[in-house]
Chain A
């Protein structure tokens, strides 16, 4: 579509502010973190790694980083195991109650995070499970699992069920079928889902805020608490770290988008925005 009539140019012109609006906030984060100033300013006055060094010298921030990585690890491991087994278990099968099962699997995406945060807060207090990162990781796993299920299901769409039957008729046991038929096909979906799960957990703020304790304060919670008083260079470094992670995730995701069309299909489904 290489037409350059006036209307096309007008569209391109009015779209520039819209694209700048999308890009500028994310683009300034890293320069702000490397700013050579005690104050938060943009454009930066000079390049300095002082704030980065300050961040990694501050126990409060490094333990927040550790807590975030721990919760993400729990969310990714549980999310991948449960999401993948569910997608394989439901592949090519119809049974009474199946819509209800799929509905239950996807439901955590639809419930507002603040509602889940309150529910988990009450629930984990009532069973006496407080003061560690584990309940936060489990809560993140609940909202991360549907993403893995969806990406795995999308990669299974290309699998002919006849392959499974051929493998079985040739004597493959259930584990051999999983290993040699399903695994190679779902692998891209699994990786994509694991990226989603990691990203959901590392950015999640509301549930982590409700369930925080001195030993279990994640990076976004620490940022949220500090940002209400002042914009500090350490918040800037933390933001830059998270943006770097997001950029890597995005680049990997774009690689999948180029290869597969199904992974973009599911994006609008992702109602569970981190608000």
Chain B
């Protein structure tokens, strides 16, 4: 939120030249003792379990075994298609919401921000439960569709891929709104004013100024949303049907139904590698976007 009116003026430690960089080297200070707890904690409870997981994945020819499983192949295809569909819908809706936030006055903006943050703070099961209530056969959405005469009998809106995507988009929207909003606020307002004063219509101001200059935000949002999408586990179970299981569900199936740890571990490593590559790309996009703003 780079809105100047919301920022409380305060001294910035970094602004004093030299002083911030000169501070680090102090002699008899055991400041590294402050890092010891978190390092010990993460080594024992984060790196060790993950290391064991990677180790387990190399047993019993696990990679070849899981990749030859037609259920796994199907789950991988489902993960890619569902994530892609959710990402596209999320970015489009997120762009609309970000535009409104960008154009809103300060008070409206804060209220709308709270609205966007609400799903962010609500647990996934609560959100999925609410959607299940809305989309069930005797739910309000079906009642509405019958009321306006679109359909005579309830249409199945739950336990299918449509429901999975609805549930996922609802969870993902905040993650799209923030990167797009921040790229919109970095656009120089004078560009739009200049274009309008030269006779440009609103449509061409959007098409030729706003949209191109917010592309870094769109790509960052798209990548972030896609990254998060690939790990969904609860929503396919609660909202989807048997044919909508994603890779995370397959990991659970291998671990808890088949009790095939090495197979589950191999799938988990495959998912982590996929996500890590995307995160690396995401960080490059963020950096490129940052440089773009400075130019």
Contact = CB atoms under 8 A, between A and B. Distances in A.
Interface of A: 1-2, 5-8, 11-12, 14-15, 18-19, 21-26, 28-29, 32, 40-43, 78, 81-83, 85-86, 88-90, 92-95, 101, 104-105, 107-108, 110-116, 118-123, 126, 138-139, 141-142, 145, 149, 157-162, 164-165, 168, 174, 199, 202-203, 205-206, 210, 220, 223-224, 227-228, 231, 235-236, 239, 242-243, 246-247, 249-251, 253-254, 257-261, 264-265, 267-268, 270-271, 273-275
Given A118-B53, A205-B233, 19 more contacts: A5-B202, A11-B103, A22-B97, A29-B129, A42-B139, A85-B34, A101-B35, A112-B272, A114-B248, A114-B268, A114-B271, A160-B13, A164-B23, A174-B29, A250-B118, A253-B117, A261-B2, A268-B182, A275-B228
Contacts of A114: 231, 233, 248, 251-252, 268, 271
B171 A275 contact: yes
A273 to B, nearest CB: 5
B228 A273 contact: yes
B224 interface: yes
B42 A104 contact: yes
A39 B175 CA distance: 34
B88 to A, nearest CB: 14
Contacts of A93: 23-24, 31
B23 A162 contact: yes
B133 A42 contact: yes
A118 B254 CA distance: 10
Interface string B119-137: 1111111111111111010
B134 A242 contact: no
A12 B99 CA distance: 9
Interface centre among B130, B134, B227, B272 (most CB of A within 10 A): B130
A115 B268 contact: yes
29 contacts: A7-B202, A21-B173, A22-B116, A22-B173, A26-B118, A26-B126, A29-B126, A40-B133, A82-B41, A86-B35, A89-B35, A93-B23, A111-B272, A111-B275, A116-B50, A118-B264, A120-B49, A157-B12, A210-B255, A228-B237, A231-B133, A231-B136, A236-B133, A253-B117, A253-B121, A265-B1, A267-B117, A267-B178, A275-B234
Interface in B155-203: 169-175, 178-179, 182, 202-203
B148 interface: no
Contacts, number: 324
Contacts of A259: 8
A220 B279 CA distance: 28
